[in-house]
Amino acid sequence: MVQKMSPNARKLRDQDTNPCIEETDGSRKCLDANNYNRDMCSAYFLRYKNCRKFWHNIMIQRRRDGVKPDMPAAEERQKILEALGGKPY
């Protein structure tokens, strides 16, 4: 039986709209591995929070500059991260 994802869940798994899928998955795996003891996963949560903050600031700047779309596509985000020498979060 194949479960269908809701449109909202599909959007959260879309590489072009969600820049922090890797961090989301890391947090979830940590919680699963540690019996949902949130204290054991604080580093993963912090990384996710910093990822969201970083890309939110990029979105705000692009909006100010009139660049569309507000969120760079996955390929463009990869180039941004490469230019920075890796993830700053």
- Summarize pLDDT for 62-75 with one digit per residue, the tens: 999 999 999 999 99
Confidence of residue 53 (pLDDT cuts 50, 70, 90): very high
If you average pLDDT over every residue of the chain, what do you get? 92
Instruction: Give the residue-averaged pLDDT of 37-50.
Output: 97
ω into 7 cis (within 30 of 0): no
Q: Are 80 and 67 in contact (CB under 8 A)?
A: no
Give the other-Cβ count within 10 Å of 27's Cβ.
21
Q: Which residue has the tokens 């869940």?
A: 9
Q: Are 48 and 23 in contact (CB under 8 A)?
A: yes
pLDDT score of 16: 85
How do the domains of the chain map onto residue ranges? 19-84
Confidence of residue 10 (pLDDT cuts 50, 70, 90): confident
Contacts of 81 (CB under 8 A, 6+ apart): 87
pLDDT score of 15: 85
Instruction: Give the residue-averaged pLDDT of 11-22.
Output: 87
Confidence of residue 1 (pLDDT cuts 50, 70, 90): low
